[in-house]
Amino acid sequence: MRTSLLLLSALISFVMVASAANFNQDIDVTWGDGRGKILENGNLLTLTLDKFSGSGFQSKNQYLFGKIDMNIKLVPSNSAGTVTTYYLRSERSTWDEIDFEFLGNLSGDPYTVHTNVYTQGKGDKEQQFYLWFDPTKDFHTYSLLWNPQRIIFSVDGTPLREFKNLESKGVAFPKSQPMRVYSSLWNADDWATRGGLVKTDWSQAPFTAAYRNYKADTCVWSSGKSSCSSTSPSQNSWLSQELDITSQERLKWVQKNYMIYNYCTDTKRFPQGLPKECTAP
């Protein structure tokens, strides 16, 4: 009996280790000349920006649908002019992309969370939010759910945005191009903070964003095939996940209290009429 328990314990430990996020196994730091670092035996990743360069990483695997979670602690203090990105993107010239961008600000002023969805190279679907906490004081979980029916952007389990598949209404939806996870930290002081009025204060450099607990529940795309089996959808419940009543109420709360820009209400930008998805029921 004792031997059986020991074997069971060892098996559980193995499964937990095998499923734990490890940046050494899952991520490649792709640019920055040493400014992106994987630390603590693969459990922590940092990106740094200085006056000469930013840095970035990407996932080793490509995915065709998935739920991606990442704990991020954003650049603290005076982060004006800096942009931290976290997104999915395909590799074609007419690409698909699902964006989180975190636009820095002066000390004490809130970050702007910028979201967008591109299909076949066309975006123009921006929504922006403030957060209800300081994202520089601790790690928070930023999630992208992408399944054939919808895309959901969430923070600590609270949805900020839902973009539904409305192909039946003539709205393009990203569903055929596998994407990688990317993240970067770079200087964008020509537009990032107050439209470029506030510039990066290089006396505050280096700027650093930190990442941990990367989790990818996904359909891995390799050699033209998906790792997900159509015969066992229960193993991938996120493939049909939608917002329950509680989550719908949280979404309404966020959009009422923290949304600062919505392309769907920008009639000056679209004088010929709002995009189709903005008027769909």
d(C-alpha 149, C-alpha 151), whole Å: 7
Give residue 16's pLDDT: 33
Measuring CA to CA, which residue among 83, 86, 100 is closest to residue 192? 83
Show the tokens assigned to 207.
Answer: 């700027």
Q: Check whether 181 has a pLDDT greater than 50.
A: yes
d(C-alpha 22, C-alpha 264), whole Å: 39
Show the tokens assigned to 259.
Answer: 């949304």
Mean pLDDT score, 245-250: 98
Measuring CA to CA, which residue among 46, 53, 31, 81 is closest to residue 210? 46
Q: Check whether 207 has a pLDDT greater than 80.
A: yes
* Partners of residue 63 on adjacent β-strands: 179, 220
Q: Check whether 5 has a pLDDT greater than 90.
A: no
Q: Check whether 4 has a pLDDT greater than 70.
A: no
Q: Are the CB atoms for 127 and 261 separated by under 8 Å?
A: yes
SS (H, E, C) 33-56: CCCEEEEHHHCEEEEEECCCCCEE
Q: Check whether 17 has a pLDDT greater than 50.
A: no
Give residue 9's pLDDT: 41
Name the E strands within the chain.
27-31, 36-39, 44-49, 55-59, 62-73, 82-89, 97-103, 112-118, 127-129, 140-146, 150-155, 158-164, 180-187, 207-222, 225-226, 259-262
What is the band of 21 on the pLDDT scale with cuts at 50, 70, 90? Answer: low
CATH 2.60.120.200 correct for 23-224+236-278: yes
Give residue 271's pLDDT: 95
Cβ-based neighbours of 279, under 8 Å, separated by 6 or more: none
Show the tokens assigned to 196.
Answer: 């470029």
Give residue 191's pLDDT: 83
Give residue 236's pLDDT: 83
Q: Check whether 142 has a pLDDT greater than 80.
A: yes
Which residue ranges make up each domain of the chain? 23-224+236-278
Cα-trace Rg, the chain? 20
- Percent of the chain predicted with pLDDT > 90: 83
Lowest mean pLDDT: which of 115-119, 165-169, 231-235?
231-235
Give, rounded to a whole angstrom, the gap between the first and last alpha carbons of the chain.
60
Give residue 85's pLDDT: 98
d(C-alpha 66, C-alpha 271), whole Å: 36
Give residue 196's pLDDT: 84
Q: Check whether 231 has a pLDDT greater than 60.
A: no
Q: Check whether 233 has a pLDDT greater than 70.
A: no
Q: Check whether 209 has a pLDDT greater than 60.
A: yes
Give residue 198's pLDDT: 87
For the chain, give the mean pLDDT.
91
Give residue 108's pLDDT: 85
Q: Check whether 111 has a pLDDT greater than 60.
A: yes
Q: Check whether 31 has a pLDDT greater than 80.
A: yes
Q: Which residues are catalytic?
A: 97, 101
For strands 44-49 and 36-39, give the pairing. antiparallel
What is the band of 7 on the pLDDT scale with cuts at 50, 70, 90? Answer: very low
